[in-house]
């Protein structure tokens, strides 16, 4: 399962780790920690050394009840960081955005993946991906960050979200974005209650039917806090457990804050599942 991310080609048949780099003041876990170019670059380099294959750079917080920001503010936060990372670090830079303008500028600076929590539903976003030629990750979110956790409702959370994502895949294909440029993300925590998140993970294999790689973001999320009654900074063990279960159920990319620890559990999980002894 080879995917081309800008100038790099990766085999996604083995699970890969994506390191989270929020250059925001208000993200739920690490807001304000990396909101300067130098701090962000140092952290990106650290995550790559620890084994991250992707660095996902985001400038707009999408935590529940997050405030909206202007496109210009988002670009001012993100573009200098992308430029510095692509110039200094051998990695695939993913840009976490729904802004068509930022998608285009990030591609010009060497980004290799567009990661859109709104699944290219923002006006102009679909055409931006067509024009950049980059692969895209389509995520499901019910509602918007400002109100998505108020009263999320599904007839059946797995079939509802799978249906949404297959429709978005078809929209992309109709515009000339082939499946070998599409990754899907069921959007854990985005308009989902604890019961929805647990149901989604339990039946994650369903999403493999799309024939697209599956990305999951479970790191430090509130579902762990709700189950274990722990603050964000104490959710590592829960995050690792969820990563293992996601990989067992077919996840190709795990998006995480704690790269070194996740790389270790991914390596062990893959060895058990696939009898893969390479490097062991």
Other CB atoms within 10 A of residue 268 CB:
12
Nearest C-alpha neighbor of 94 from the set 270, 266, 217: 217
In angstroms, the CA 246 to CA 249 distance is: 5
* Residue 173 three-state SS: helix
H or E segment to which residue 222 belongs: helix 222-228
**Residues recognised as catalytic:** 221, 255
Pairing status of strand 2-5 against strand 8-11: antiparallel
Helix 194-202 × helix 236-248 angle, to 10°: 40
H helix count then E strand count, the chain: 9, 10
């Amino acid at each position: 399962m080879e995917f081309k991310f800008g100038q790099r080609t990766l085999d996604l048949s083995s699970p890969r780790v994506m390191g989270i780099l929020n250059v925001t003041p208000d993200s739920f876990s690490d807001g304000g920690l990396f909101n300067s170019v130098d701090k962000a670059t140092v952290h990106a380099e650290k995550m790559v050394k620890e084994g991250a294959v992707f660095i996902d750079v985001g400038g707009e917080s999408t935590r529940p009840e997050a405030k909206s920001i202007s496109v210009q503010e988002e670009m001012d936060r993100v573009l200098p960081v992308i430029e510095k990372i692509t110039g200094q670090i051998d990695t695939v830079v993913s840009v976490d955005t729904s802004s068509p303008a930022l998608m285009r500028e990030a591609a010009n600076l060497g980004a290799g993946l567009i990661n859109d929590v709104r699944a290219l539903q923002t006006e102009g976003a679909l055409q931006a991906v067509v024009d950049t030629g980059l692969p895209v990750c389509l995520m499901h979110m019910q509602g918007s960050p400002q109100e998505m956790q108020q009263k999320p409702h599904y007839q059946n959370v797995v079939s509802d979200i799978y249906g949404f994502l297959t429709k978005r895949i078809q929209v992309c294909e109709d515009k000339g974005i082939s499946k070998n440029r599409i990754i899907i993300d069921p959007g854990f925590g985005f308009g989902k209650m604890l019961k929805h998140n647990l149901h989604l993970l339990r039946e994650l294999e369903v999403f493999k039917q799309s024939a697209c790689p599956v990305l999951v973001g479970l790191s430090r999320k509130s579902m762990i806090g709700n189950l274990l009654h722990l603050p964000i900074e104490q959710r590592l063990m829960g995050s690792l457990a969820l990563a293992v279960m996601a990989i067992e159920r077919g996840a190709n990319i795990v998006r995480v804050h704690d790269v070194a620890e996740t790389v270790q559990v991914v390596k062990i999980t893959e060895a058990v599942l696939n009898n893969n002894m390479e490097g062991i």
